[in-house]
Amino acid sequence: MALIPSRLMPGDTVGIAAPASSFDADLFHSGIEVLKSMGFQTLVPDDIFIKKGYLAGSDAGRARVLNRLFADPAVKAVMCARGGFGSMRILPMLDFEAIRKNPKFFIGFSDISALLWGIYRNCGLAVYHGPVITTLGDADQKTLESLSAILLSGCIPEIKPENGITLGSGTASGPVIGGNLTTLCHLTGTAFAPDFGEHILLLEDRGEAAYRIDRMLTQMKLAGCFERLAGLVLGSFEDCGIEDEIFRIVRNIFREKKLPILAGIDAGHGTPNITVPFGIRADLDADRQVLSFNEPFYPEC
């Protein structure tokens, strides 16, 4: 079982890290106001406003902020300012031992997927695929309600997409993990290479042509990333061309496996972008088109 962070209470402090790209100040401050409206205090380190090219400061500086927020007992959750690029550059600089000793909510998506995977893999800590600060200001109600419910109750509602599509019949059980396809693919061959054996994998992406999605999935398949995969769920593939073409590619990549595959989860670069726990066991029923989490880690859940 994964380490489960303690749920938040109104008035708790959410620390903000910028482990990847620099960000738009107006979008950032709009997102901070949304967090405050949920009843949280925020801790915004001055360091995150530093810009170094397309990054939010140096690699060492971005890693130092994230390590510091995890070590700070006053911080109960850590959210990321933005994705973009840069997360994988700081993976070797993270203090995984300190993170393991200070389990708390860690939330983000897109390029942050590298950190979600790295922290889960090295610390056994449940992490959360959900919005970043710069997307909160114009987030829809479903996105905000999902984030607030996860943080304040810790209870995970059943995920049943309104427009679910069954690409592969069957059921599966296992911890959910995954995130942005492009980011995870670029970890292949590194010390943080993904291995999703016995897991339910969630994938999403944005702005990638069908042939590039095919190429990335093929590379990961040849590298053994999908060996013993339990199941697959697809989030949004925004601006990636014709949806049916993406589905055809996915079916072809996994044609040799009797793998339950469910598409249409509201997670990723589309709207809504619900918060999905990673590292927590779930049941996937592709035929009923439902993903339900089955670890009652809080007594009232």
* Residue 199: active-site member: no
Q: Is 242 exposed, middle or buried (0-12, 13-18, 19+ CB in 10 A)?
A: exposed
Tokens of 284: 């996937």
Residues found in the chain: 301
Q: Which two tokens stand for residue 208?
A: 């990638």
* pLDDT value for 301: 53
Per-residue pLDDT at 133: 98
Predicted confidence (pLDDT) at residue 277 exceeds the cutoff of 90:
yes
- The structure's pTM equals 0.96
Mean pLDDT (the chain, rounded): 96
Q: What is the mean pLDDT of residues 33-62?
A: 97
Question: Model confidence over 150-202: pLDDT tens digits?
Answer: 999 877 889 999 999 999 999 999 999 999 999 999 999 999 999 999 999 99
C-alpha–C-alpha distance, residues 121 and 118, integer Å: 5
Question: By C-alpha distance, which of 228, 217, 295 is closest to 250?
Answer: 217
Distance (Å, whole) CA 210 – CA 245: 7
What is the pLDDT, as a whole number, of residue 160?
96
Measured distance CA(92)–CA(27) in Å, rounded = 29
Residues 110, 113, 146, 148: which is the catalytic one? 110
Q: Is 204 a catalytic residue?
A: yes
pLDDT in tens, 200-236: 999 999 999 999 999 999 999 999 999 999 999 999 9
22, 148, 199, 204: the catalytic one is 204
Which residue do the tokens 């419910």 mark?
149
Residue 295 has pLDDT above 90, yes or no: no
Is residue 115 within 8 A of residue 106, CB to CB? The reply is yes
pLDDT tens by residue, 30-42: 999 999 999 999 9
CA separation for the pair 67, 182 (Å, rounded):
25
Q: At what angle do helices 243-253 and 210-222 cross, to 10 degrees?
A: 20
Q: Which domains does the chain have, with CATH numbers?
A: 13-153 (3.40.50.10740), 165-293 (3.50.30.60)
Average pLDDT over residues 132-149: 96
**Cα 141 to Cα 81: distance, rounded to the nearest angstrom:** 20
Q: Tell me: the pLDDT tens digits for 1-28?
A: 789 999 999 999 999 999 999 999 999 9
Q: What is the 3-state secondary structure (H, E, C) of the chain?
A: CCECCCCCCCCCEEEEECCCECCCHHHHHHHHHHHHHCCCEEECCHHHHCCECCECCCHHHHHHHHHHHHHCCCEEEEEECCCCCCHHHHHHHCCHHHHHHCCCEEEECHHHHHHHHHHHHHHCECEEECCCHHHHCCCCHHHHHHHHHHHHHCCCCCECCCCCEEEECCEEEEEEEEEEHHHHHCCCCCCCCCCCCCCEEEEEEECCCHHHHHHHHHHHHHCCCCCCCCEEEEEEEECCCCHHHHHHHHHHHCCCCCCCEEECCCCCCCCCCCCEEECCEEEEECCCCEEEECCCCCCCC
Percentage, residues of the chain above pLDDT 70: 98
